[in-house]
Amino acid sequence: VCVGVCGCCFCRARTPRATMTTDFGYSRYGAGLLFGLLWLAVMAPLLYVAYFRKRRQVMPLEEMDRRESVQALLDSPGRTQHQGDRRGRAMVAPAPLRQEEEQTQSNASAHTAWASADNAGQRNAKARAEAAAAKEAAARKADEEADRAAKAKAEADRAKAQAKAGIEAEQEAEAKAEQEAKAKAEQEAADSSDDDDDGPGKDAVKVSDKGLEVSETIQFGGNSPDIKPESFPILKRIAKTLRKQKQHVEIGGHCSDVGGSAEADAHELQLSQERADSVKAFLEKQGVASQRLTAKGYGDKVPVASNDTKEGRAKNRRVEFNFA
């Protein structure tokens, strides 16, 4: 084809522009085609022979061995053929080759089965992972719901406890107010009864700058801190007077000096303290606040009369109420 193109160009160069034919009598296009055909007629057989000879030279040894082994098998007497016409008759491979092909096919089938099993295993693993993730998410959601329910229950219990505590506090406050009102009413009743009472001890208690001046003597049992019943009215009058006061009162217990050893003096001191404590307890029962009262025993250290006479010792055995 290339030579034909070149011939065409050559003929065109040799042909004048005014004419369309060459020196040989052909058109310049026909001359080009003729040169191309002549070239193919000469070079085609040479190219064909050169191609197959080159292919024979570069054929791998493995391919040559395979062809030779196949040819040997074809020439062997143990080969079999399919029945049919000559054109459709085909060679059947011998038993060793057939086994090899079957083994190859079985290996391919096994490989395919393994690949399918592997894919199935991957799918199953993925499905198990998704199921585990879903289960974990459900468990986490259930835990969150349980926590919320527990918090709500705790808040409800706390609110219930607060409400109960508020109710109890209100009940306690009401009970306390009721008790205070009752005590106040009783105190007012006692005060009114004392005001109406003209019995002994009404004018026996007076308030001074130093304390209470009691005209009657509080009587105790012999060598005992027990108060005699005949002194209850005067103590009640003292309690009423102290309830109206706001000063702190010291209850001082005193005894007479009968003489004797240090043991007797210690006994007199202890007895005076016990008598002062008895008076303090009586006044507290009558409604006088305990924080306003202090009991102290002086023994025979502060006499107001001589201990040599019976009358003087009687005066020294006394209880005084002084403002602190």
CB 37 within 8 A of CB 7: no
Instruction: Tokens for 88, please give them.
Output: 């459709």
Instruction: Compute the average pLDDT of residues 127-136.
Output: 90
Q: Mean pLDDT lowest for which of 54-63, 83-92, 130-139?
A: 83-92
188/244 Cα distance (integer angstroms):
12
Which range among 47-56, 74-83, 222-231 has the greatest average pLDDT? 222-231
Instruction: Compute the average pLDDT of residues 118-135.
Output: 86
Amino acid identity of residue 287, one-letter, is G
Q: Is the per-residue pLDDT at 278 higher than 90?
A: yes
Q: What is the predicted pLDDT for the residue at 282?
A: 93
Which range among 52-66, 71-85, 126-140 has the greatest average pLDDT? 126-140
pLDDT digits (tens, 9 = 90+) for 234-252: 999 999 888 888 889 999 9
Instruction: Compute the average pLDDT of residues 290-307.
Output: 88
The CB density around residue 145, as the number of other CB atoms within 10 Å, is 10
pLDDT digits (tens, 9 = 90+) for 11-35: 655 555 545 555 555 566 676 777 7
Sign, CA torsion 217/218/221/224: negative
Instruction: Compute the average pLDDT of residues 292-310.
Output: 87
Chain centroid, CA 161 distance in Å: 23
Q: Whole-prediction pTM value?
A: 0.41
Indicate the pLDDT class of residue 293, thresholds 50, 70 and 90. Answer: very high
Percent of the chain with pLDDT over 70: 71
With tokens 């705790």, the residue in question is 154
248/321 Cα distance (integer angstroms):
10
Indicate the pLDDT class of residue 83, thresholds 50, 70 and 90. Answer: very low
- For residue 319, what are the β-bridge partners? 253
Instruction: Tokens for 239, please give them.
Output: 């309690």
